[in-house]
Amino acid sequence: MTKLKIIIAPDQRLNTICTEVKRIEKGTLFFIENMVDTMYESNGIGLAAPQVGTMDRILVMDCSYDENNRKLKKIINPEVIEYSDELSEYEEGCLSLPQQFAKIERPSKVKVRYLDINGKRIEEEFGGLEATCVQHEIDHLNGKLFIDHISKLRKKLILKKLQKYKKANNL
């Protein structure tokens, strides 16, 4: 498989709302496998299609941190249908915002409706880190980054650092 190029913020593609996948074809499945390889090779726990330049509602995630017991999810057209009232706070990072982290508060449990790679409609409840990860990745599909959940000043500082990072790394 192929490691895809990860888009680094600031980039307008990361602020774009993605379109629903109408049909799951061989090309879609091949792209998803490349996303999985890219996520693992980049030491990420989640990756959304717009992070690699494709504006489709697709994400992959694996919060297991265990190569021998993977819990890989390949999710198409996700939609959060229930949020818990209870909140959790995790320090979030992002492959599109290298070396940048912030504590973000989100619902501790969510129920998500999505299609699997066979086109089967699934409703699944996520809790803990998986709930945070799936919400983070769905945010990407809606044109949002985790820094959209922090103060405007802190967001501005992070984007300034990322512009310097992109310039220094010819990105």
Q: Which residues are catalytic?
A: 137
Distance CA 61, CA 66 (A): 13
Burial annotation 45-61 (CB, 10 A radius, 16+ → b, else e) = bbbbbbbbebebbbbbb
Pairwise CA distance, residues 80 & 124, whole Å: 10
With contact defined as beta carbons under 8 Å apart, do 158 and 100 qualify?
A: yes
